[in-house]
Structure 1
Amino acid sequence: MAACSFRRSIASQLSKVLDLPPENLIKSISAVPVSKKRHVADFQLSIASVTEDSSTDCLAQDLHLQAQKLAERLKCDAVVREISAGPGTVNFTINRELLAKTVLQQVLKDGSQYGVKSELFSAVPRQKAVIEFSSPNIAKKFHVGHLRSTIVGNFIANLKVALGHEVIRINYLGDWGMQFGLLGVGFQHFGNKEKLKSSPLQHLFERLGVHFDEYSGESFYHEKSQEILKTLEDKGLLQKTIKGTGIVDLSEKKDLSSFSTVMRSDGTSLYITRDLAAAIDRMNKHSCDTMIYVTDKSQSNHFQHLFQILKLMGYDWAERCQHVSFGLVQGMKTRRGEVIFLEDVLNEVRSRMLQNMASAKTTKEVEDPMETAEKVGLAALIIQDFRGLLSSDYQFSWDRALQSRGDTGVFLQYTHARLHRGVKFMMGITETSRKRKPIKMNFPPHFHSLEQMHGNEQLTDVNVACLQEPDAISVLQHLLRYDEVLYRSSQDLQPKHIVSYLLTLSHLAAVAHKTLPVKGSAPELAQARLCLFQAARLVLASGMKLLGITPVTQM
């Protein structure tokens, strides 16, 4: 990983001065965000973060002064060409030729794995996770309220799989009280895929690009929920109210100041009782390390009670259960009025995108306008949904979501298509001469696949020393930060970090595409810029796929 090699080099020098192990310093060294107003260093060390973990005498309360003193004790070398002090930080600027060479080699070598191999994840154990999301009522049309659960759960699953975790995706269908056991449970026990595929639900999931490993339903846990009630009674946890309902006391002082109702007065189970049975069944079946539920924030108390009851029952793994909540979408309307069903949203976004594409000059180049409109439209929905905190409500706007410029999913798709088209068109350029000794770069098979228009000619030598322009450096610096962004999203399961990163990458790439022309440039300069744009496109595509977006190549 490009950023890792630089962090290790910087940490190695710092460890000698600070008398600390390099591994203790690596996470305190972060890539500096790109600034539009001024040129920035590539990495910085936060003095405060080192002070918290160290009692070393060289670090005092005056962080700025200590940063200056530390900077003076460090020396530039073959990797670091400049060291300076900032407000509480020590800043490191990497040798520009080495920066370009290392970043581009790593991106082109790793492809979709770029960023996930970072040593930032080395201390994170690989786990098995069960993720429950979507969970519509199959007796009704897919409500738009389930859209967020579906795309959020899909993102979390995608991210965990990319980072090497084992994921089991479960759709817990709301089939209670209806004769839909065969559709949900029968799929698992009798392999009745045709029954499931005949459902419009499966079609909606395939338009969304979402798949599930298991389908189950509330009805499956009807009998098992009675076992749960018996267990609660045996453990002395089940109490009866005057009206005959069954409750579990959750208060610390056991004064019923907080309780959960788990049984109706007629002895039948409730939603939480069936959830208890489902949780225990899944843990027995999968022996997972974590169990994640993705629902709207109105169910926060429900899951808090669920986890508390499981713990009272003696299941310590309840502490590894997590509820990822999200807010409400407000103002989502079609031309016909208020949106109720997801298929209305998908039809609306497709028709609006087709209308927008029809007025664009490039529409005639698109092989399948309907499919492209759907992919771009879904990207628009997902990016507008993921831009803020998941727990926040937000006001939906078709006009804002479908803008081709600005921070939208349409802009991400447009940038990806433009980069793909530019790289594919220019792959036939070859060098005839060089004034400088080139840096050898071996390109993997996926890079050569873009040469369709110009035969099988390979690019093997690229003089990356050509990439010294500020706009090229900005793209390279931003590519350095990708592993940190993935790490941050993996910690709080918020997609907004990746969304913000990809939008910035698209803006930087768009500027570089204008100021660093490939066509008409000297051959070695054209090749170097080609590599830069290919690297930007690969990272952009990888990030989009994590979010659940299928990148388009024509638009």
Structure 2
Amino acid sequence: MTCFFKRTIAAKLGRTLHQPDDVFIPALSAVPVFKKQQTSDFRLTISILRTNGVLPASGDIQTQTEHLANQLKRDSVVEEIAAGSAGINFKINRKLLAQKILEPFGTEHQGKIGLHSELLNSLQKGTTLVEYSSPNIAKKFHAGHLRSTIIGNFIANLRESLGNKVIRMNFLGDWGMQFGLLGAGFSQFGSQEKLAENPLQHLYEVYVKVNKEAEHNEDTTLAARNFFRRLERHESRAVSLWQQFRNITVSEYRRVYERLGVHFDVYSGESCHQEGVREAVQQLRNRGLLKTTEKGTAIVDLSAGDLSNVCTVLRSDGTSLYITRDIAAAIDRREKYHFDEMIYVTDKSQTHHFQQLFQILRAMGHSWADRCHHVPFGLVQGMKTRTGEVVFLEDLLDEARARMLHNMSQSKMTKEMDDAEDTAQKVGISALIAQDFRGLLQGDYKFDWDKMLQAQGDTGVFLQYTHARLCSLIQKNNDIDTATFDPSLLTEQSSVSILQHLLRYDEVLYQSAQDLQPKHLLNFLLKLCHLTASAHRELPVKGSAQQVAQARKRLFSGTCSVLANGMRILGIIPVDKM
């Protein structure tokens, strides 16, 4: 949406300064809208031109700004040019602004609006592998896994929308000493009958009991180690029980992911890399990176690098650890998928683990380790349902749906709908996602049901309400054809504010793609909703003259399309009624 205008301004600057147009594009940005104030549309940041060597880096920057502004001429596209504080502001012809922004919404490509600007096309494309969610087998989906799931889903959606081939991977915790404990515990506390009735609940109960037992009973700990050793040796009875637990758990997880609107291309797991672990250990040994301690553990000494530490990769009994399996998994993925980048989404407590992982991979000669990234996130505090502390994600989703259903039933604005429960679930999940994405991901935040489910304010409910309201407006004015419209009829400040805000869409997506933080896109959409609420009050469609109604409906249709597209990237499924 911004390409035409940035190109025009860049060409004007290029002619004046005798430079290629392209050098000015990075210094041009859309101006944020503030409370419906009259503002310019684009700003040229002089300091960027000085840094890039387009302008001299010496001399007074304000004098330089004013001198350049005075050299530039207005034309049919750029109505006003003014020197600001270390930048030049450009105001676009209002009719042209509306025409160029709203034109694409009448085409079959409107689902891709804002995704093909020159700014976004400058991003490197390729294959992105995102590992997220990654719960542990034989445990119910803990609410703590919600953050990894929705953050990873956002990153995968974003990369995909920008033209990358994305592989969505769920790397299940289906190996290790936890399985040793569960395998040993099931023979003591397990029941096949209870397993058939409520599989994950029963496995969770067994796991809790055996952990408690292991705290004061050394025999239980030894039995767990023995079971895991049998598993690593592929003894049939141990493997059969493990396979049963894995199949049950994956089946249950898929149901929860469906509720969240999340899907995966690959269900992998630590168990898939037993052969790879042996090969990785041999590679470490061949490169002289592996050392054996007095206790018999195998370590990689990283103290020569940035991290003053050592990393254990094998226990004294020869069994593998989490880091060993991650090394093998990374090598396998590179060989299998030829990814251009790999992104791990886990809580910030694992930051050190991934620093070690990437350092070991580099030491092994894998230069692609530089294209592996860890996206860390903070903790959620105070996550409770009416019945107490939240343990399982399904409890949280049920509570969000129930509370949203109650709120909808109390609201006079609620429309009749075919499936109120489904709508309440989607809106409740929107509220969970929006609350989670408000701040920087690595920050902790306090969970608050009341704030989260407010229909007004910066919430997921407000996003959904605005989208549903726009859908209703479009539906009620179904008889108004917007195939052609007169852009000169959209000069009111509330119209112009929306158009100016839409100019920033590609810049917001670019910023999100750079730092993988969803807050930029969420805040953009929330601001769009506030501007839309004002325009909805001030710009009636029904009852207006036909040409005015056509132009306004086109504006609201375009806004609805951008809002829906942005919500989907965040992982929010837009509802048409609520």
TM-score normalised to structure 2 length = 0.86
Matched letter for residue 267 of structure 2:
Y
Asked if residue 205 in structure 1 is aligned to residue 252 in structure 2, the reply is no
Give the deviation of 1:48 after TM superposition. 0.6
SS in 2 for 1:417: helix
What is aligned with 1:221?
273
Greater CA drift, 216-225 or 537-546: 216-225
Greater CA drift, 172-181 or 302-311: 172-181
Distance in 1 between the 2:146 and 2:516 partners?
A: 17
Give the deviation of 1:37 after TM superposition. 6.1
Asked if residue 81 in structure 1 is aligned to residue 79 in structure 2, the reply is yes
What is aligned with 2:338?
287
Distance in 2 between the 1:468 and 1:292 partners?
A: 45
Does the CA-based 8 Å contact 1:30-1:44 persist in structure 2? yes
Greater CA drift, 357-366 or 112-121: 357-366
How do 1:14-163 and structure 2 match up within 5 A?
Answer: 14-36=13-35, 38-54=37-53, 56-57=55-56, 60-109=58-107, 110-163=109-162
How do 1:368-407 and structure 2 match up within 5 A?
Answer: 368-407=419-458
Distance in 1 between the 2:479 and 2:317 partners?
A: 76
What is aligned with 1:440?
none
Distance in 1 between the 2:403 and 2:54 partners?
A: 61
What is aligned with 2:399?
348
SS in 2 for 1:461: coil
Distance in 2 between the 1:253 and 1:493 partners?
A: 27
Distance in 2 between the 1:76 and 1:4 partners?
A: 19
Distance in 1 between the 2:457 and 2:305 partners?
A: 54
Matched letter for residue 290 of structure 1:
E
Distance in 1 between the 2:82 and 2:418 partners?
A: 53
Deviation sequence 1:476-515 (CA, Å, 0-9, x none): 0001110000011011111110001000000000100001
Point out 4+ residue stretches in structure 1 off by more than 6 angstroms. 179-182
Asked if residue 464 in structure 1 is aligned to residue 487 in structure 2, the reply is yes
SS in 1 for 2:9: helix
For residue 504 of structure 1, the aligned residue among 519, 527, 543 is 527
Deviation sequence 1:409-431 (CA, Å, 0-9, x none): 000000000001001111213xx
Deviation sequence 1:490-542 (CA, Å, 0-9, x none): 11111110001000000000100001111211111111110110111000000
Over 3 Å counting, the alpha-carbon distance change for 1:543 and 1:74 in structure 2 is: same
Distance in 1 between the 2:252 and 2:516 partners?
A: 29
Give the deviation of 1:65 after TM superposition. 2.1
Does the CA-based 8 Å contact 2:323-2:357 persist in structure 1? yes
Give the deviation of 1:220 after TM superposition. 1.9
SS in 1 for 2:295: coil
Give the deviation of 1:18 after TM superposition. 2.0
Deviation sequence 1:380-401 (CA, Å, 0-9, x none): 0000101110111111100010
SS in 2 for 1:462: coil
Structure 1, unpaired ranges of 5+:
183-191, 430-457
Distance in 2 between the 1:487 and 1:364 partners?
A: 37
How do 1:476-555 and structure 2 match up within 5 A?
Answer: 476-555=499-578
Over 3 Å counting, the alpha-carbon distance change for 1:130 and 1:99 in structure 2 is: same
Distance in 1 between the 2:249 and 2:312 partners?
A: 36
Distance in 2 between the 1:134 and 1:386 partners?
A: 16
Does the CA-based 8 Å contact 2:276-2:332 persist in structure 1? no
Greater CA drift, 116-125 or 164-173: 116-125
Distance in 2 between the 1:197 and 1:116 partners?
A: 38
Deviation sequence 1:268-293 (CA, Å, 0-9, x none): 11110011111111111111111111
Aligned residues: 514
Structure 2, unpaired ranges of 5+:
184-202, 204-230, 235-243
Matched letter for residue 66 of structure 1:
Q
Greater CA drift, 514-523 or 498-507: 514-523
Does the CA-based 8 Å contact 1:205-1:211 persist in structure 2? yes
Greater CA drift, 520-529 or 497-506: 520-529
TM-score normalised to structure 1 length = 0.90
Does the CA-based 8 Å contact 1:63-1:87 persist in structure 2? no
Greater CA drift, 260-269 or 360-369: 360-369
RMSD: 2.0
Distance in 2 between the 1:253 and 1:50 partners?
A: 38
Over 3 Å counting, the alpha-carbon distance change for 1:300 and 1:197 in structure 2 is: closer
Give the deviation of 1:126 after TM superposition. 1.7
Distance in 2 between the 1:520 and 1:142 partners?
A: 52
Q: Percent identity?
A: 55
Distance in 2 between the 1:428 and 1:55 partners?
A: 53
What is aligned with 2:327?
276
